[in-house]
Structure 1
């Protein structure tokens, strides 16, 4: 027995709605709830006290178009590509950046300044010693940092 016309219309409308939502979410805009404290206190400032989380609307259509220093971006985390992270753009391609040793030494489990690794302008790792080191962000890359230096893994850990 065939379905009534109204049931067929409802099913078609539901399928169209679902496919539209999936397309919108995957390619144009996505609502993302912030978990964690790497962007504290800018995002989810009461997360530690109350568990309250902020929600962002992330633009996915041409995400690098008009990208500026200070923008908050979503990215696949280099050390866990299946996970997404929210960070602030600090430097764009061609900008010079300087390693923040306070952040880097914490990630290495070292107190104070020490040796580490940086990525040069063509993406190769280079070892360097005491003090700070400057280098240029390569084409097609940005330097990102979390607003909460004590709880953020960012470009000081990943490189560019």
Structure 2
């Protein structure tokens, strides 16, 4: 009976931890491993998520946050909504953008933004798919590091303060 109750206790803790983890990841903050080379040298991908750069990405702030040029955002790929990209915000709705290596100037439509990777030669971004619909913006990158433990620990205290604040 003792082994059964221990197993039951572990199962309950695992399910509870999983539900809490999914809720936090879905509503507030998540850790995302960098894939590809489009943000190199700012962020670097490797063959292992544990060795490459990771990004702590926040979702709770998107409704109130005033985005500005230079912010690093995560968004759902326009052609495949299951894929998430990390790019730098270059232009906001209503702004004029000069296309790199071109004299063409375009106006970013309302409800859209212009995003580009830091490594222009290896980035699939607004230069390829055009202005990004702001509804596809998924998260705001708030921290990046090569050490995922460091990212989580550095931001855990402020995240817990935030969760406590919104639960009051």
Structure 2 length as normaliser, TM-score? 0.65
Q: Larger helix proportion, structure 1 or 2?
A: 2
Matched positions, count: 126
Deviation at 1:52, TM superposition (A): 4.5
Q: Specify every segment of 5 or more residues in structure 2 that has no aligned partner in the other structure, as ranges.
A: 132-168
Deviation at 1:42, TM superposition (A): 0.6
Determine which structure has more spread, i.e. the larger CA radius of gyration.
1
1:71, 1:22 → 2: CA distance? 26
Q: Is the 8 A contact 1:44 1:52 kept in 2?
A: no
Deviation at 1:93, TM superposition (A): 1.2
2:66, 2:14 → 1: CA distance? 35
2:37, 2:7 → 1: CA distance? 47
Q: Which residue of 2 aligns with 1:128?
A: none
**Any residues of structure 2 matched to 1:34-73 within 5 Å, and which?**
34-44=34-44, 47=46, 52-63=51-62, 65-73=65-73
1:135, 1:141 → 2: CA distance? 12
Q: Specify every segment of 5 or more residues in structure 1 that has no aligned partner in the other structure, as ranges.
A: 103-130
**In structure 1, which of residues 139, 144, 147 is the aligned counterpart of residue 115 of structure 2?**
144
Deviation at 1:159, TM superposition (A): 0.8
Q: Does 1:79 align with 2:76?
A: no
Structure 1 length as normaliser, TM-score? 0.68
2:89, 2:54 → 1: CA distance? 19
1:111-147: CA deviation from partner (whole Å, max 9, x where unpaired): xxxxxxxxxxxxxxxxxxxx63323222221110000
1:40-63: CA deviation from partner (whole Å, max 9, x where unpaired): 011018x49xx9410110111233
Deviation at 1:8, TM superposition (A): 4.9
